[in-house]
């Protein structure tokens, strides 16, 4: 019920909503850990990370090149999601430049955690008489 109130309280052209902090934190931590593994694998305290450390050590020892390319593919996916967010802004009538920039940046940084909010947004359209 609150989401409907929130959506209708703003004109469609300026709609923006921040992503859920948990989704944003998971994405940031995941990409941060991924970067750490790819670019500074020698500095990771594998023993202190338990099962995650064992798995990470296996990936570093056996698939580091694949991890490197996977890291850049993940960022390319985020770029694609951010561009798609701009396309959705057009389709949903979000015309305010600041709102569009915020959607682009938030989706670029946090991916589907942000994009899912924009996908779910249903702008209010008045019926023509």
Give the model's pLDDT for residue 5.
46
Judge if pTM exceeds 0.85.
no
Helices 50-91 and 97-110: angle between axes, nearest 10 degrees: 160
**Would residue 4 count as lying in a domain?**
no
Is 128 part of any domain?
no
- The range of the structural domain enclosing residue 70 comes to 20-120
CB atoms within 10 A of CB 3: 12
- Please count the structural domains in the chain: 1
pLDDT tens digit at each of 129 positions of the chain: 444 444 445 666 899 999 999 999 999 999 999 999 999 999 999 999 999 999 999 999 999 999 999 999 999 999 999 999 999 999 999 999 999 999 999 999 999 999 999 999 998 766 666
6 part of a folded domain: no
Is residue 78 within 8 Å of residue 109, measured between CB atoms?
A: yes
């Amino acid at each position: 019920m609150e989401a409907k109130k929130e959506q209708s309280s703003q004109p469609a052209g300026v709609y923006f909503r921040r992503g859920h902090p948990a989704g944003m934190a998971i994405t940031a931590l995941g990409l941060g850990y991924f970067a750490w593994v790819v670019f500074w694998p020698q500095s990771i305290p594998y023993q202190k990370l338990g099962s995650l450390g064992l798995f990470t050590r296996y990936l570093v020892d056996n698939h580091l090149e694949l991890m490197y390319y996977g890291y850049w593919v993940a960022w390319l996916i985020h770029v694609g999601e951010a561009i798609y967010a701009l396309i959705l802004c057009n389709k949903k009538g979000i015309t305010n430049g600041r709102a569009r920039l915020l959607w682009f940046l938030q989706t670029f940084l946090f991916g589907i955690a942000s994009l899912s909010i924009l996908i779910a947004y249903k702008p209010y359209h008045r019926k023509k008489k």
